[in-house]
Structure 1
Amino acid sequence: MVSMREVAIAASVSVGTVSNVLNSPDKVAPATVERVLAAIDRLGFVRNDAARQLKAGRSRCVGLVVLDIGNPFFSDVARAAQERAAEHDLVVLLGSSDDDPHRERLYLETFDEQRVFGLLISPSGNDQDRLLALHHRGVPVVLVDRDGHGTPFSSVAVDDVAGGELAVRHLCAAGRRRIAVVGGPASLSQIADRRAGAFRAAESHPGVTLDVVDTYAPTVLAGRDAGERIVGLPVGERPDAIFCVNDLLAIGVLQALALHGVAVPDDVALVGYDDIDFAQSATVPLTSVRQPRAEIGAAAIDLLISAAEAGKTEPEHICYRPHLIRRSSSGG
């Protein structure tokens, strides 16, 4: 590895001057900056960022842990966070926990060791011990897609109870009376809230029945399995409408229904959640509850920077209202 001393010798300057060129180039004469940069290029010098971070106590990196990077909702949130972070000369390091608490803990330990600028996380559960430890050491923590009220963490989320209620009210207004809610596991607070909103809407419409079709994961394959179970019911017991707690599940259900000749929306109306890009390009364009994915990612970085301000102690909370996007799958 080429050292700063070797760069200094090659450029006929002091080691301090090389350091200033790397960290505060405005303090160095332009001609000297040009000479040092030329020596860096010629020698192939790479800054030892670990040493710089150790001295500064914090890096330019932001840790982001999501539940499932395979879900376009989280990839869109991550992209928006990355773009906003770049505006502040920060870099986002991304990890996907796959709803595995052990894997999530490994990411948190690694980001802690790297002295990250701060942490954005969609927690897989309710165990906050590791997050609290980071917080007490001065590392800003922002909960993403999770309400942080009652915790010391800032948060950006969506009112998922209202979202579930929107979906089922729409189906009820369309004249559907036997509604199935597809989605799990309920241990994920987002899914539990969407299901709770669905039940709230059903209770306000006399004659509407609502049943839960649990799934092992919020994925396309799990949705296809749920669709097969629904199709396997006697015709008179099948739902005439399905609300899936995310769009991946809805796409899987749609595939299963199509495979067995069940028409959407004539036989079964279908509503998803998230309004990912695939929703509007599905075989039957999917009605979905939209979450502002880009706004969530950008706001998470803004909250993190705000939390990092000297003397900042009170957490901030942002909660967006979801919107129903009507398409063909629900008869809209």
Structure 2
Amino acid sequence: MARFPVSIKDVAREAQVSIGTVSNVINRPEVVSEDRRRRVLKAIDQLGYVRNDVARQLKAGRSRTIGLVVQDTGNPFYNEIARGAEAAADDHGQAVIVGNSGLSRSREQVYLDLFEEQRVRGVLITPQSDDLRRVERLRSRGTPVVLVDERAPASQYCSLAVDDVEGGRMAVAHLLAGGARNITFVGGPAGLHQVTDRQAGARAAVDTVPGATLDVVGTAALTVLEGRRVGEELLHRPAAERPTGVFAANDLLAIGLLQAFVFDHRLRVPEDIALIGYDDIDFAPSAVVPLSSIRQPARLIGRTAVELLEDELSEDHHHRHVTFQPELVVRDSTDAI
């Protein structure tokens, strides 16, 4: 037989108090006598009552939940953003629900619809494209939105991101400083502005060194498997046509490239090919050859996104963009060049 959820009326009946007393014990325990408070708490425990937070949110008009939509929960960078957001939300007595769009606009919309139906406190999102019409509809109906890992006009949205052009420039400048001249940039899909910005930075660095070249190899995704595929492709080139330095658009690609290069001792890293990634994920220092990378302050990005959202909920709010600076982290994969 189906068991219906325990209601506040059931608790009041069990504790032999009014519904108002039960409500006060839940929301304003300081106004209830010790005896009645103890009876209500005992009844809640015995009956297994769970507060109907959806109804409470409808009454209050605002929930304690923040929605976060990221592009790929398989990427440790986005997991670190989520951890930072969760830590900041916890400081405010709130919680974060994470949705993985998987680089799918339709899935992104499913999460935005769900978060709107749940009347979340606000939404943090790394959007799939520059088309923000769905995001704008969400905001126009009262749900504040902060764009994460994205730059938007400060007159329209709060947003925050790392300077990826500078990060790409730093990565390739490091390879060039070590003597590499034939540089290959590996990354895609090309529609991701993070990829195109890092490529632009790489191009800017190469253009400052006479005789240096930049080859671009696209990928369908920013994954270890795509990195291994490209690594195998580079291995099959004649030795004279292989790059002397490779910049991968993220660390997952770089780890796949590294696996292809060093398995069966086919190439030495960095002696034959120097390799640098982007994000400085936890796996980078423990790779078979510790991986040089461009560090992004992922947890700080998540924390700051929540703080921007809280500020947006205040009466005296002005949209702003926060830019974080990347950091070069040198390890064995480039150290000998």
TM-score range, shorter chain: over 0.9
Q: Which secondary structure does the structure 2 equivalent of 1:264 belong to? A: coil
Q: Rate the CA distance shift 1:271–1:293 in 2: closer, same or farther, 3 A.
A: same
1:305 corresponds to 2:310:
yes
- Partners in 2 of 1:29 and 1:168 — Cα distance? 68
TM-score between the two structures when normalised by the length of structure 1:
0.97
Give the equivalent residue in structure 2 for 1:291: 296
SS of 1:51's partner is: helix
Q: How many residues align?
A: 331
CA distance in 2, matches of 1:32, 1:184: 63
The CA deviation at 1:30 is: 3.4
Gaps of 5+ in 1: none
Name the structure 2 match of 1:160: 164
User: How far 1:114 moved relative to its partner?
Assistant: 0.5
Gaps spanning 5+ residues in structure 2: where? none
Match of 2:223 among 219, 223, 240: 219
Mapped partners of 1:68, 1:137: distance in 2: 27
**Length-normalised TM-score, structure 2:** 0.95
- Cα 1:151–1:107, aligned 2, differ >3 Å: closer, same or farther? farther
Give 1:300's aligned amino acid: A
1:127 alignment partner, SS class:
coil
Q: In structure 2, what is the equivalent of residue 318 of structure 1? A: 322
Cα pair distance change 1:262/1:140, threshold 3 Å = same
Residue equivalent to 1:209: 213
Equivalents in 1 of 2:155, 2:73: separation in Å?
A: 25
Deviation of residue 155 (structure 1)?
Answer: 1.2
Matches within 5 A, 1:191-210: 191-210=195-214
Q: In the alignment, what sits opposite 1:110? A: 114
Aligned twin of 1:52: 56
Residue 136 of structure 1 and its aligned partner are, at CA, apart by 1.2
Superposition deviation, residue 150 in structure 1: 5.1
- Give deviations 1:55-85, integer Å, cap 9, x for gaps: 1222111000001001111111101111111
Query: Root-mean-square deviation (CA), in Å?
Result: 1.2
Distance across 2 between alignment mates of 1:157 and 1:238: 33
The secondary structure found in structure 2 opposite 1:200 is helix
Q: Deviations over 1:130-164 (max 9, x none)?
A: 11112112211111111122562211210000000
Q: Does 1:264 align with 2:237?
A: no
**Counterparts of 1:47 and 1:243, CA distance in 2:** 52
SS in 1 for 2:284: helix
Query: Displacement, 1:12?
Result: 2.1
Structure 1 residue corresponding to 2:241, chosen from 230, 237, 249: 237
Alpha carbons of 1:89 and 1:150: their partners in 2 closer, same or farther (altered >3 Å)?
closer
Contact preservation (8 Å) 2:149, 2:161: yes
Verify the 8 A CA contact 2:276 2:293 in the aligned structure 1: yes
- Give the Cα separation in 1 of the matches to 2:12 and 2:24: 11
How far did 1:236 drift?
Answer: 0.6
Cα distance in 2 for partners of 1:267, 1:296 equals 36
1:70 & 1:94 partners in 2: Cα distance?
12
Q: Distance between the aligned counterparts of 2:154 and 2:300, measured in 1?
A: 23
